[in-house]
Amino acid sequence: MKSIYSVFSLVLVAIIAVVVMSCSKQVYNATRAQQLVVDSLDFSYLDMNSDVASGIYYRVMHADSALVFEIAVLDEVTQRKILMNGLNVFIDTTNKSQKTTGFQYPIRLINTQLPGEEPRIIPLNDKPGAGNHDMIKLIVAGIAKEIPVSKNLQARFILNKNQVLMLRVAIAYSELGLNYSSLKNHPFSVLLITTPLKLPKAPEGGRDNGAQEREVMTTNQSMMGNQQAPFGQATPGMYGQPGGGVYYNSSSPSTQDGASKTDKITIHNIVLSD
């Protein structure tokens, strides 16, 4: 009886070991991108891999000259984190979790005022020039630099009419110091990381000059005039809600929930497939 139990235990241990090994070596197939030009963000996220906690859907693709990333973000708090602090994407050729090569996009959506003042969010339907939609931060060998988007660095994002944040970045291997042949022969990993929000303190007593405290302060529609609605929204305004502003009540549970958290998604064992 004891020998049967021992055999059963050994078989069970072997099965568990096989399951663990198979899970740890699960392969992510990066398919070939149909196009590199980032002129449309109407891709579907329904067949993408996703992270439920952050509401981030992601797809990694490749071409002979570039890596392509498509991101869709459904969660509003995660959208705020990305629009205010950027999405960090790292590529690790050792298939681990190193953060020395990659990029951040978008960047410089916050316009800092005088020293000591709270930063003001740049309205996305204002056109502050290079630095809002037209810049990307490259990180190569741990050194970061901001450069304009170009033929080798194509990037775009929108908040569509369904309030889904869509991003697409096509970045040449040479810009990241990567080698296409090497990537094809060795699995690598990609990390997607958000930065927590730094929310301003709520006014004492929950009111500011008699105005009712709200998580999102709506913008006076009449002041917007005939400006075009940003990112396919039904009414002009800024992200957060159609026609809305971007003032956050730091005491609101809905704002605090997830806002102070760093979202981290690691995609291991990426292989470039045709």
Which class for 249: exposed (0-12), middle (13-18), buried (19 or more C-beta within 10 A)?
buried
Comparing CA positions, the residue from 57, 55, 99, 110 lying closest to residue 258 is: 55
List CB contacts of 79: < 8 A, sequence separation 6 or more.
Answer: 73, 159, 165, 239
pLDDT at 269: 97
pTM here?
0.69
Q: Residue 83 in contact with residue 119, Cβ under 8 Å?
A: no
Classify domain 25-199+261-272 at the CATH class level: mainly beta
pLDDT at 230: 37
Which run of H or of E encompasses 72?
strand 66-73
Q: Residue 32 in contact with residue 65, Cβ under 8 Å?
A: no
pLDDT at 110: 54
pLDDT tens digit at each of 274 positions of the chain: 556 656 556 555 555 544 444 455 799 999 999 888 777 788 999 999 999 999 999 999 999 999 999 999 999 999 999 988 899 999 999 999 999 999 999 986 555 444 554 545 454 444 444 444 678 999 999 999 988 888 889 999 998 889 999 999 999 999 999 999 999 999 999 999 999 987 666 555 554 443 333 333 332 333 233 333 333 333 333 333 333 333 344 445 555 567 889 999 999 999 999 8
